[in-house]
Structure 1
Amino acid sequence: MRINLTSVFVDDQDRALRFYTGVLGFVKKDEVPLGGPGGHRWLTVVSPEQPEGAELLLEPDEHPAARAYTAALAADGIPAASFAVDDVRAEYGRLRALGVRFARAPLDLGPVTTAVLDDTCGNLIQIAQYHPRPPAP
């Protein structure tokens, strides 16, 4: 079993697509019109390093429960998703230079270093660098 698809609720799919592709560096995989009055789409992005890997659905937050859930997570400082990076500090610097707002600067937590950014679409997103574990004795 493996993860095929996960999602984040977004308040604007066009803005989310621009941020996740133009700023974070993902690439658009699928864009299928869903019809209806909102003009929503099945809109996914993937890592350019794993184009056939897990997809991230940029899902409209139209359902009241989705909005409440997203707002509660953000208010409590809880990331909606976590993305692995090779170097958190380098990615933090790159993204800050692009104007990305961070809720938390890089923080060393033993086996992982993390930072938390605002995706401009209602979510906090964690970036994480995992450190090699020493071999067991």
Structure 2
Amino acid sequence: MSIKKIFFMNRWLLVISYAILIFVLTSVSSLSYPKFGFDPVDKIYHFLVYAVFSYLLFLALSQKENRFFKGNPHFFSILLGGAHALGSELYQISVPGRYCDFFDFLADFIGVVSVQFFLFVIQRSRKQKVES
């Protein structure tokens, strides 16, 4: 197996492992606690977890071997990250002691989008420096 294929597979292995970790954490009912009102610390955790997930998705989707996704890895990272966040929140309906929270999903999605925006700006500025 070539080094490129190993590197390609390792990036996807990271994405899949992290997605499974999120799934496992959302399956544990003891991580949840009764919330009264808006808890900003909880939303920061949600934001950070999905910001990392978004970055890992971008790394995997922006590889040359991804012919389909290569054209717009930011869009597909947002699509896949947002779908995972929504699925994670909806899944929690079936977990005893957990619940689906729109604001948790919103924090997740903002984490996904903000990382992609940041990466897009960095890529754009690098491209402009090369063209100058």
TM-score scaled by length of structure 1? 0.29
Q: Larger Rg: 1 or 2?
A: 2
Higher helix proportion (structure 1 or 2): 2
TM-score scaled by length of structure 2? 0.30
Higher strand proportion (structure 1 or 2): 1
Higher relative contact order (CA 8 A, sep 6+): 2
